[in-house]
Amino acid sequence: MKQQSRVDLIKDLSSHVAVVRPRTRLLLPSMLWFIGSWIYVVALSLYLGPLREGAVKSLVTSPQFAFESSMGLITGALFCVLAFRESIPSLRHQWLVYLSYLSAIVWVSCYVLGLTFPALEPSMLGKRAHCVLEAYLYSMPPLLIGYFLIYRRYPLNAFRAGMFMGVSAGMIPALFMQISCMYDPQHILTHHIGPATIAIAIGALLGLIFKKMK
């Protein structure tokens, strides 16, 4: 009898609770952030300097260059999805995390392999004198905006969410530099991909700061 009363009480209480729509729609905000970030990076990069001569044509004439560029785009998109899914409890899938890590490893490995077998002939053509500083300039605003969008929800692991957002924000300029700056695998690893690690660290730091503010 006592248990029956408890069940009735729960039913009675739940019947008067207003229906709340969970905030699980992430496709639109994640797409808007990813596309908007690309527009910002491309526009600012073209404002500061032209693309490397023949870079776009190389995407068609060199399958290896096209593959490593495609892997970069896919990896950035995957980590964008990861970051936004971290903003809502229970939406994180471990298989997606593994897939994103694998994609990132393949992408970086392309340039490690390129130290011996480069996709394009390494040259100084198109070199930007301050490409490292440009990478920071390109990645920081998208990173801050992206983490604000995540923080408006409720990431249980703010550190991990910030780290994933840092990966995606840092990869966009790192990838676009492949056609706007010189092509040389060693330069790419140190001056294009290297600054992305700073974006990852700042994203993780944002996560720690905002976690304490919750």
Q: Does any domain span residue 77?
A: yes
Q: Does any domain span residue 7?
A: no
pLDDT of residue 86: 87
Q: Does any domain span residue 205?
A: yes
Domain count, the chain: 1
Q: Does any domain span residue 2?
A: no
Q: Does any domain span residue 81?
A: yes
The gap between the terminal CA atoms of the chain, to the nearest Å, is 42
DSSP string for 69-116: HHHHHHHHHHHHHHHHHTTSTT---HHHHHHHHHHHHHHHHHHHHHTT
Q: pTM of this prediction?
A: 0.84
Q: Does any domain span residue 18?
A: no
* Residue recorded with tokens 């229970």: 90
Helices (H) and strands (E) in the chain, counts: 9, 0
pLDDT of residue 1: 44
pLDDT of residue 13: 59
* Total residues found in the chain within this entry: 214
pLDDT in tens, the chain (214 residues): 444 565 665 666 556 555 555 555 778 889 999 999 999 999 999 999 999 999 999 999 999 999 999 999 999 999 999 999 988 876 778 899 999 999 999 999 999 999 999 999 999 998 998 889 999 999 999 999 999 888 887 777 888 999 999 999 999 999 999 999 999 999 999 999 998 999 999 999 988 887 666 5
Residues 164, 155: Cα–Cα separation, whole Å: 12
Q: Does any domain span residue 5?
A: no
pLDDT of residue 199: 93
Domain boundaries, position 89:
26-213
